[in-house]
């Protein structure tokens, strides 16, 4: 889950607690963070970290919930200071983590390094990444308050992302490509560069636009998504949602989420999407409740919808940018229900891709996003080789759709995306294949996807959409 999901989880929990228990909840987060900082191999903690600055904000938000007394705010502030202190003294060395022996590497929270590194350490780490060293290395200038990979999106009234304008002495121009920002963010002095980076991030890369030019767009293919609640009117995907089902998000009908429009735009977006002419059956699930039952309900709904469709319109693949069960899953309830639903979907011929499947994260060379060989496995802050038993899919640098309030359409750019962005990408590449040859079953088409992968320059096994489509065409 990403940061917005964690904030929703905090709100969902503390609104049902008294003041004493609210502060205890904040202390639990602090204790887990402190333990993780002292034990680099602590299982199950990777998904809760989003950067030192972000973690301080979580604790302060908890302390400030419903206008607490002055002493409560003081306690929250002190907890924030303790986080800062513990992060700088007990380093978590992510570079020594096992690269392909655990699924935990596939969780989205890849910016944990920011919790435990000083500015100079971050500069050293990024400067060793050869393909994009010139783009991401920092100057170590102490006046730059924005660090590489920081989230500087602007959301007025959010209480977390309130800063809108950043001046040139607050950030490094060469680091802009690593930031997460939206159209509300203003980087003074480099507005044109910022706009160009966001525009470049709309390119799906790996030759996808060339396939679109040939008419291969996913037309006639039905797919499905299970994700957070979605507003259906964003220009990227308006009119493309065949059916929508809410499993229990309990959100205002005019309220959206960060995650849902992002993954939907990657799959079927008009200017962003890999398969812009595919149709989506969308099940909304409250990830912040960490209960797999909601995801199982969504998948079972998809199965029932699929039974209503004629044979030539069946739902082919379900994109799930979460891990409702399995290694590293943050879900605490009813994982067995998800496993049962997946088996039921498979019996119906539906492929289910979640973050504990065959897909691993990778990233483009931003100067040449169409060259598969220049992609690298892993994350920008934690690269690793994707073995041939998995398929690396580019997760950054990406621009995605954004809509938090109905009718307020925007875009956000993510310099370092999580595996969440890779799942809909892979699902939509498969949709392109099913447009070319609808007769292929899920097992056969996945095998072709594996067979046509490219071994990149770093030795990673990378998805190759052009080679995949060429091979699918030969099966007709």
Q: Is residue 188 part of a domain?
A: no
Q: What is the CA radius of gyration of the chain?
A: 21
On whether both 338 and 467 belong to a single domain, the answer is yes
Per-residue pLDDT at 373 exceeds 90: yes
Whether residue 149 contacts residue 126, with contact meaning beta carbons closer than 8 Å, is answered with no
Question: For 421-457, what is each residue's pLDDT tens digit?
Answer: 999 999 999 999 999 999 999 999 999 999 999 999 9
Per-residue pLDDT at 107 exceeds 90: no
**pLDDT score of 445:** 98
Mean pLDDT of 187-206: 97
Mean pLDDT of 320-343: 96
**pLDDT score of 28:** 58
Whether residue 260 contacts residue 232, with contact meaning beta carbons closer than 8 Å, is answered with no
**pLDDT score of 80:** 35
Question: For 111-167, what is each residue's pLDDT tens digit?
Answer: 333 332 333 333 333 333 333 333 333 333 446 799 999 999 998 877 778 889 999
Q: What percent of the chain has pLDDT over 90?
A: 67
Question: For 71-96, what is each residue's pLDDT tens digit?
Answer: 333 333 333 333 333 333 322 233 33
Domain boundary among 92, 120, 153: 92
Q: What is the Cα–Cα distance from 87 to 193, expressed in whole angstroms? A: 33
Per-residue pLDDT at 24 exceeds 90: no
Q: What is the Cα–Cα distance from 248 to 284, expressed in whole angstroms? A: 8
Pick the range with the lowest mean pLDDT from 23-32, 246-255, 322-331. Answer: 23-32
Mean pLDDT of the chain: 80
- More confident call, 60 vs 409: 409
Max mean pLDDT range (44-48, 85-89, 344-348): 344-348
Domain boundary among 33, 65, 92: 92
**pLDDT score of 158:** 75
**pLDDT score of 6:** 58
Q: What is the Cα–Cα distance from 275 to 214, expressed in whole angstroms? A: 13
As given in the structure block, the two tokens for residue 264 are 């939907």
Q: Is residue 135 part of a domain?
A: no
Question: For 220-251, what is each residue's pLDDT tens digit?
Answer: 999 999 999 999 999 999 999 999 999 999 99
Q: Is residue 154 part of a domain?
A: no
Per-residue pLDDT at 20 exceeds 80: no
Per-residue pLDDT at 102 exceeds 70: no
Mean pLDDT of 29-34: 55
Q: Is residue 106 part of a domain?
A: no
Question: For 1-14, what is each residue's pLDDT tens digit?
Answer: 445 555 556 665 65
**pLDDT score of 9:** 62
**pLDDT score of 160:** 78
Number of structural domains (the chain) is: 2
**CATH number of the domain residue 341 falls in:** 3.40.50.200
**pLDDT score of 33:** 55
Q: How many helices (H) and strands (E) does the chain have?
A: 15, 17
On whether both 238 and 384 belong to a single domain, the answer is yes
Q: Is residue 164 part of a domain?
A: no
**pLDDT score of 143:** 61
Domain boundary among 92, 122, 141: 92
Can you give the pTM of this predicted structure?
Answer: 0.74
Q: What is the Cα–Cα distance from 176 to 359, expressed in whole angstroms? A: 28
Classify the phi-psi angles of 334: left when phi > 0, otherwise alpha if psi is within -120 to 50, otherwise beta: left
On whether both 88 and 220 belong to a single domain, the answer is no
- 334 phi and psi angles, rounded to 5 deg: 60, 35
- 284 in helix, strand or coil? strand
- More confident call, 161 vs 256: 256
- The residue segments making up the domain with residue 272 are 208-473
On whether both 222 and 87 belong to a single domain, the answer is no
**pLDDT score of 115:** 32
Q: Is residue 105 part of a domain?
A: no
**pLDDT score of 162:** 85
Mean pLDDT of 29-43: 47
Q: Is residue 433 part of a domain?
A: yes
Q: Is residue 167 part of a domain?
A: no
Per-residue pLDDT at 97 exceeds 50: no
């Amino acid at each position: 889950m990403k940061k917005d999901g964690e904030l929703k989880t905090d709100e969902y929990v503390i609104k049902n607690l008294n003041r004493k228990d609210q502060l205890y909840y904040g202390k639990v987060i602090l204790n887990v963070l402190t333990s993780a900082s002292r034990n680099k191999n602590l299982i199950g903690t990777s998904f809760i970290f989003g950067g030192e600055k972000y973690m301080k904000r979580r604790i302060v938000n908890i302390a400030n919930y419903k206008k607490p007394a002055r002493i409560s705010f003081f306690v929250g502030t002190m907890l924030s200071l303790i986080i800062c202190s513990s992060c700088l003294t007990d380093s978590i060395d992510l570079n020594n983590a096992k690269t392909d022996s655990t699924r935990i590497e596939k969780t989205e929270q890849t910016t944990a390094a920011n919790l435990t590194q000083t500015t100079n350490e971050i500069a050293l780490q990024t400067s060793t990444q050869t393909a994009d060293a010139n783009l991401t290395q920092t100057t170590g200038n102490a006046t730059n308050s924005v660090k590489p990979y920081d989230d500087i999106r602007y959301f007025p009234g959010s209480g977390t992302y309130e800063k809108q304008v950043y001046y040139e002495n607050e950030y490094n121009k060469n680091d802009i490509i690593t930031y997460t920002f939206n159209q509300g963010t203003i980087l003074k002095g480099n507005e044109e560069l910022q706009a160009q980076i966001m525009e470049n991030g709309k390119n799906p890369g790996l030759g996808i636009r060339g396939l679109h030019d040939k008419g291969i767009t996913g037309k006639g293919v039905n797919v499905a998504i299970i994700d957070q609640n979605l507003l259906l009117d964003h220009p990227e995907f308006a009119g493309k949602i065949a059916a929508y089902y809410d499993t229990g998000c309990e959100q205002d009908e005019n309220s959206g989420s960060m995650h849902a429009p992002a993954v939907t735009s990657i799959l079927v977006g008009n200017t962003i999407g890999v398969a812009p002419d595919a149709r989506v059956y969308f099940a909304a699930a409250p990830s912040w409740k960490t209960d797999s039952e909601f995801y199982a309900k969504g998948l079972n709904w998809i199965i029932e919808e699929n039974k209503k469709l004629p044979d030539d319109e069946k739902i082919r693949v379900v994109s799930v940018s979460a891990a409702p069960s399995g290694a590293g899953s943050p879900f605490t309830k009813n994982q067995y229900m998800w496993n049962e639903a997946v088996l039921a979907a498979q019996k119906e011929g539906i492929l289910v891709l979640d973050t504990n499947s065959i897909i691993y994260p990778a990233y483009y060379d931003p100067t040449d996003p169409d060259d598969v060989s220049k992609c690298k496995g892993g994350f920008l802050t934690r690269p690793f080789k994707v073995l041939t038993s998995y398929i690396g899919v580019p997760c950054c640098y990406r621009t995605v759709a954004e809509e938090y309030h109905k009718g307020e359409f925007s875009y956000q750019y993510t310099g370092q995306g999580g595996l969440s962005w890779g799942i809909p990408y892979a699902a939509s590449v498969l949709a392109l294949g099913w447009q070319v040859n609808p007769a292929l079953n899920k097992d056969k088409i996945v095998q072709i996807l594996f067979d046509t992968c490219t071994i990149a320059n770093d030795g990673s096994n990378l998805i190759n959409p052009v080679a995949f489509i060429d091979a699918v065409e030969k099966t007709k």
